[in-house]
A and B are shown apart, each in its own frame.
Chain A
Amino acid sequence: MTDSQTDRPGDQPDADFPDEPAVPASQQTSRKAADPLAEINARPAQSGGGPDMIQLLTPEGQRVPNDRYDPIIEALTDDELRGFYRDLVLIRRVDTEATALQRQGELGIWASLLGQEAAQVGSGRAMRPQDYAFPSYREHGVAWCRGVDPINLLGLFRGVNHGGWDPNEKNFHLYTIVIGAQALHATGYAMGIQRDGDVGTGDEDRDAAVISYFGDGATSQGDVNEALVFAGVNHAPTVFFCQNNQWAISVPNDKQIPSPIYQRARGFGLPGLRVDGNDVLAVYAVTKTALDNARSGQGPTFLEAFTYRMGAHTTSDDPTKYRISAEVEVWKHRDPIARFTTWLLREGIMDKAFMDQIEAEGDELAASIRERCLNMPDPEPLAMFDHIYVEEHPVIETERAELARYLESFEGAH
């Protein structure tokens, strides 16, 4: 054995290990907790996002000064701020209507965004037209901000298509149901932007960035971790936007995430920030900064939007089986729309009349969505053979003809 081998760092026990655990006690798992309430109270979901969390608006609607992000908020016009409010309220209204449509049997399933409106509107409004979003399947608020007609989102949940919108029309990719897969697609797209030379030119209408959306559960997937590796080594113009809504169906953060998610980014060589996901101003300011950085060639950023899934995972889920209502009550006080409303009213940016106007607009929108959903036709059987390949394919054509003949054989029959 040579000297250099005996000098390996690992040979000196505990040389690099701190005496104290890296994870704060409040964020550790106490697997043997006798009192289930104590365990729940210790969860970050209950205790809040901790001192690193960027917050510009408290749950009570108080502005928290922040030297770095205040100029971004101050640059927003009153119209834009009222626009955020409109987005938040309308997308919640769309979500409520979709949930009702599912309950009435018009949708097979619905994945509600309730509670995550600020995370989605704040980040969605931080994008420029040439940016590209890669959603999971709950990003109805981002779709809204991109200008995707909400009726398009319902097709998938009604079972008439698997998505069906042209992603290039609004630079909003199709919903991706396989957890975390879209993080890689987003990274590849960003690598394409690099190759097109659309990064760091200084032309604000040309430079583009990509944002991928996924949840806390997705951070366990290899795809998300591989995406961070690929984005890191390629310095890709992309933002990873993790909506940590505390629950991956029935599994809470402490059984999913060994250390705070935003801290993981450092290991991949990119900055990681935790932002209050229920604070539309903070999400907007932080995401805008990250996207600006990406567009100007400063590489990727990982953002953890600390939020809460107020509803079930989907309409097929029953959260009463795995979480207590006290936890939900805590988060009701952190509601993203309530705090923003308080602030806008106090600042005199909007008034009750404006709120009434938006409420009426929401009712109209919901009625229109309901009507269009009910009128959404089932696809023709032969449509299943469409768009499988670009080029003609003998098996597809043979089977299409077979089904057509079979269906025709029933015509005129009683």
Chain B
Amino acid sequence: MSTTQMTIARGINSGLRAAMEKDPKVLLMGEDIGKLGGVFRVTEGLQKDFGEDRVIDTPLAEAGIVGTAIGMALRGYRPVVEIQFDGFVYPAFDHIISQVAKMRARSLGAVKMPIVIRIPVGGGIGAVEHHSESNEAYFTHTAGLKVVCCANPADAYWMIQQAVETDDPVIFYEPKRRYWDKGEVDTSAAPCGLFESRVVKEGSDLTLLAYGPMVKTCLQAAQVAEEEGKSLEVIDLRTLSPLDLPTLTASVKKTGRVVIVHEAPTFGGLGGEISARLTEDCFYHLEAPVLRVGGYNVPYPPSRLEEDFLPDLDRVLDSVDRSLSY
């Protein structure tokens, strides 16, 4: 076991480096990812070491980036695309939904689309409009795509490599406000598979389900609750599509109560799908309705209001109390 301290951003950077060293067909595409290393410096130093043919500074056109990545994949490459911010993925939406997700089925299995689309996601950084969105539900709703989100440096390091090795297209979300959070990374072995959820804190009274930036919030909530004598289990979903339902249902059957937490607005959000599945699978084990805490159903507000919009410790605990009161 060899562990190193690194941030989430560095974890992804090191993971990408490892993936590129392992497979010469892996290449990176995106805006400003070369000399600058991306606006979050996630690809820092990679162009210098792997050259401009493998770390491609593209023209400023997201449809063009994903559209040409599709062509590269058809030629046998494994492109890793960086979308600069969540709110800028929409120009590429058509290619992701209508081409990347459907190409394999259209060809009756003759071709594959091993493309990773990296998207820094979520708010909390005081940004201007379009830089703080949580749009995962658009992609989890689409068959043909897989969607994952990392929440800590070790997962950042390993999940990006596992995503690159996946023969199916993967939307890879990175919690941008946690980019600089540090943690131990064991670079000798992956902690688990890419499409597995993980219990990050065991508990017996209630299950908190979260992913990406909300995992840390939920861990803090669990700690505060513990001081009040409540034992909360926290699960980091890691995979949003497919869902790792066995792990989720095992926990909910144990605790009988569940609160789902995400930054995205709740209406039509991933929490709704999880809620429906858990209700169906755990109906006789539930002591309370499945509750959700999420962003309000408004466009992402100006940043001076984002603390009121985003779920925080108190809103999570408020829902925990509501669930426990049933």
Contacts and interface: CB of A to CB of B under 8 A. Distances in A.
Interface of A: 134, 161-169, 173-174, 176, 178, 181, 183-196, 222-223, 226-227, 229-230, 233, 386-391, 393-396
B253 to A, nearest CB: 18
Nearest to A198: B75
A343 to B, nearest CB: 38
Given A184-B63, A223-B63, A394-B245, A388 B105 contact: yes
Contact of A391 (B54, B76, B95, B168): B168
Interface in B59-78: 59, 61, 63-64, 67-77
Contacts of B54: 195
A185 B107 contact: no
A191 B71 contact: yes
Contacts of B63: 184, 222-223, 226
Given A181-B95, A227-B67, A229-B64, A196 B75 contact: yes
Given A162-B106, A181-B95, A189-B75, A388 B67 contact: no
Given A222-B61, A387-B108, A389-B146, 13 more contacts: A163-B106, A164-B108, A167-B111, A178-B98, A185-B67, A187-B67, A191-B71, A229-B61, A386-B108, A386-B109, A387-B104, A388-B143, A391-B168
14 contacts: A174-B106, A176-B99, A178-B94, A184-B64, A185-B74, A186-B71, A188-B73, A192-B71, A194-B53, A226-B67, A388-B144, A390-B104, A394-B242, A394-B245
A386 B144 CA distance: 11
Interface string B100-133: 0011111111111000000000000000000000
A173 B64 CA distance: 18
B76 A192 contact: yes
A192 B99 CA distance: 18
Contacts of A183: 67
B58 interface: yes
A185 B70 contact: yes
Contacts of A230: 58-59, 61, 64, 68
Contacts of A196: 75
Tell me which of B68, B71, B76, B146 has the highest count of chain A C-beta atoms within 10 A of its own C-beta: B71
Q: Is the interface of A mostly helix, strand, loop or mixed?
A: helix
A183 B91 CA distance: 16
Interface in B159-188: 166-168
Interface size class of B (residues with CB under 8 A): 35 or more
A189 B111 CA distance: 14
Nearest to B99: A181
A194 to B, nearest CB: 8
B77 A192 contact: yes
Nearest to B91: A222
A162 B105 contact: yes
Nearest to A391: B168
Contacts of A222: 61, 63, 91
Contacts of A174: 103, 106-107
B166 A391 contact: yes
A178 B59 contact: no
A127 to B, nearest CB: 16
Contacts of A185: 67-68, 70-71, 74, 99
Contact of A168 (B67, B68, B111): B111
Nearest to B75: A192
Contacts of A134: 71
B110 A162 contact: no
B110 A391 contact: no
Interface in B135-154: 143-144, 146
Contacts of B95: 181, 184
B133 to A, nearest CB: 21
Contacts of A189: 71-72, 74-75
A168 B111 CA distance: 8
Interface string B5-27: 00000000000000000000001
Nearest to A212: B71
Contacts of B106: 162-164, 174
A191 B71 CA distance: 8
B61 A161 contact: no
Given A195-B53, A227-B64, A394-B245, A188 B75 contact: yes
Nearest to A156: B106
Nearest to B58: A230
B144 A389 contact: yes
A188 B70 contact: yes
Contact of A192 (B72, B104, B168): B72
A23 to B, nearest CB: 27
Contacts of B53: 194-195
